[in-house]
Amino acid sequence: MIYTIELLISKLTENDKSGYDLNKIMDAYELANSSHEGQKRSSGEPYISHPIAVAYLLLDFKMDTDTIVAALLHDVVEDSNVELSYIKKRFGGDVALMVDGVTKIGMIPLNYTKEEQHAENIRKILLAMSQDVRVILIKLADRLHNLRTLEHRPPEKQRGTALETMSFYTPIAHRLGMNELKEEMEDISLRYLDPYGFKSIDEQVSHRKEQRELFIEKIMEMITERIGEMEPVPSIAGRVKSNYSIYKKVIVDGKNFDEIYDIYAVRIIVQSVIECYNILGIIHDMFRPIPFRFKDYIATPKPNRYQSLHTTVIGRDGIPFEVQIRTVDMHNTAEYGVAAHWKYKVGLVAKQKNNPNTSDTGRLEWLRHVLDQHQESGNVEHISEAIKTDLASEDVYVFSPKGDIITLPLGSNVIDFAYAIHSQVGNKMTGARVGGRMVKFEYQLVTGDIVDIMTTNSSSYGPNRNWLDIVKTSSAKAKIRAWFRKERRSENIVEGKNSLERELKRNSLPFDDELILVAAKELRFEEADEFYASIGYGGTPMTRVIHKVKEIYNATAAAASVSEADNINLSESIAKKQSKGVVVEGIDNCLVRFANCCTPLPGDKIIGFVTRGYGVSVHKSDCANVSSEKRDRLIKVKWVHLNDLYYRAAIDVVAENRVGLILDVTSVIFENKLSIDEINAKKLKNGNACIEITLEIANVEQLKNIIAKLQKIRGVIVAMRRDS
């Protein structure tokens, strides 16, 4: 379908011609048309068809003149020479704000990663949305039309757009209560993310289409016959669960298609809340309800203000189906969310904050939380984290001892609950009871839990760093980071430095002050201590740090191998450790890395393998991965003696399971003054225990010595080196 201005005007007339400023809309169209003149979409259609389509979609939400104008102009600043100041002067401040909000950031610093650029764009959208929620409505309509025409884009662009949609736009649409739009975006995205899975579900749904239609029609007739005398007569409609919703249960959860009880559904729309409950009684009288499949979202609305009664029943044919019962207002809210009751002043979060009586205040409460967290953490990447977790499509509803309802994402634990109540409750938390019994901090909450948090008044008490790996919500993570940043700076520096040193060793990278300082400045830190402190309290993800250090280290090594003149000055320690104790025959300053498949140690016979772009990979001579067809890329290498170099070596210990086993193993290691990088223990099916240890070892002889001592521990069946 090609969208034209004539089609848009026709739609405007259908909606309410007198309610729109047609002159202003046509003025915007003319500017957009001239600005996009000569531009084509991937489909070959004139580009102007896209902004018209976005405006057309927004008319379904009964949006006002300024929103339609902004939709027509939303790509003008980004794709032409039109300045935002000109749009403000010609169309007003509201239109300019919306256009600016949906315009991608043009000048992002060169040292920003793709993830940071994406997070910056999200941050800009959310900030504009906090001033005017119409920004995100335009962006959602823009994304929906791009999805509908995604078949004209290259495969990598299709997948990228679909992934971004699922990680950002569908959670936003869910939290705004825009269910119809969300489901369409999910279904289209699934088609590109898992085409085979989508096709499988679509074929099963299509195969049963006739059977489904007959079944739903029969159920609707039965219900109509029973409640047909009500005044006014309730509206009854049938529906089928979206392909993506079915996909999650069949493909992801592993359920059989016939095990999904709510594939078929009947929706009954009445005039009042009391009628909802009356109809529920009638439905339960007509059909047998399935236990524990009743949900009252009228008494306990979802965070996005969704309200409805859901019950799953079994018909006379033995086929389960869901019945949804709601009022007209509830239905409009369920389908169109924040746009269902659109009023300009309701769209302003700032005004809502001062007017808690507005109906959509709670719907946008999460937005303030996300922005507040960004202000606290100062890290734009945490915004993406908040979108993925806090705006998840599934929630749990738990209670405080006083009966207050706290809504949290599925998978949240008691620490998340504590921080949801207040920062100080989380910071002073010492334990938790659920239903009157003590639980671990990792306990995952389920709907209906009554949670009692125990706290201390001790000023020296605070959260544990391990909580950052346990909590689910970005809100809790942000508050924990904020506490450590404020209260434990010196501790953060030590923790961050130690953590970085461990990770660098694990990745066979040198811990060098000059290299670290370069990486810190690349990541926008002025000094090393500030950098270490950020790592220590979790403000800067370690994966990002290691990626940056590797990037600088490899660039330095590559420059050194090309030309002395272009060489970035290496400190003495980098130059010394670059070879990692291995000399490559005939090559100076060669980048060396050890193969993970065989983890060679000094004393092992070794061979080098030239890898394109990564220098020389060192393997044990008998490594199975050094195959005969690659002999032309093999090169001689040998060990050289460096006293302060250590290497990762893995040992597996299998022993009779008993109390104190791990203590005995670690004691032997510490007595031999060896450093443990990693240790994991598990119980085997035969009842024995397996302990996997990664140590820092100087050479093969030291490894053989520690294995021999581990072998002497009571109950140990075997201790051996693990090559991969």
The residues assigned a catalytic role are 78-79
| Residue 186: how many other CB atoms lie within 10 Å | 26
| 141 vs 134: CA distance, rounded Å | 11
| 517 vs 116: CA distance, rounded Å | 21
Query: In this structure, which amino acid lies at residue 530?
Result: E
| 500 vs 506: CA distance, rounded Å | 10
Scan for tokens 């289209």, then name that residue. 188
| 476 vs 430: CA distance, rounded Å | 16
What single string gives the DSSP state of each residue in 82-101? --HHHHHHHH-HHHHHHHHH
Q: Which of 449, 456, 446, 455 is nearest to 401 (CA)?
A: 449
Q: Which two tokens stand for residue 119?
A: 């997070």
Q: Which two tokens stand for residue 548?
A: 């940056």
Where does residue 155 rank: exposed (0-12), middle (13-18), buried (19+ CB within 10 A)? Answer: exposed
Number of continuous H segments (helices) and E segments (strands) in the chain: 31, 20
Q: Which two tokens stand for residue 581?
A: 């104790």
Are the CB atoms for 690 and 652 separated by under 8 Å?
yes
Q: 622: which residues sit within 8 A by CB, 6+ positions away?
A: 605
Are the CB atoms for 361 and 352 separated by under 8 Å?
yes
Q: 47: which residues sit within 8 A by CB, 6+ positions away?
A: 36, 39, 40, 41, 75, 79
What are the angstrom distances between the C-alpha of 305 and each of 17, 96, 332, 354, 473? 31, 30, 11, 19, 20
Output DSSP code: residue 446. -
Are the CB atoms for 695 and 706 separated by under 8 Å?
yes
Q: Which two tokens stand for residue 685?
A: 């099916």
| 366 vs 692: CA distance, rounded Å | 43
Element spanning 407, H or E: strand 405-409
Q: 523: which residues sit within 8 A by CB, 6+ positions away?
A: 111, 531, 540, 544, 545, 548
What single string gives the DSSP state of each residue in 43-75? TSSBTTHHHHHHHHHHHTTT--HHHHHHHHHTT
Element spanning 437, H or E: strand 437-439
Are the CB atoms for 398 and 449 separated by under 8 Å?
yes
Q: 578: which residues sit within 8 A by CB, 6+ positions away?
A: 510, 557, 570, 589, 591, 592
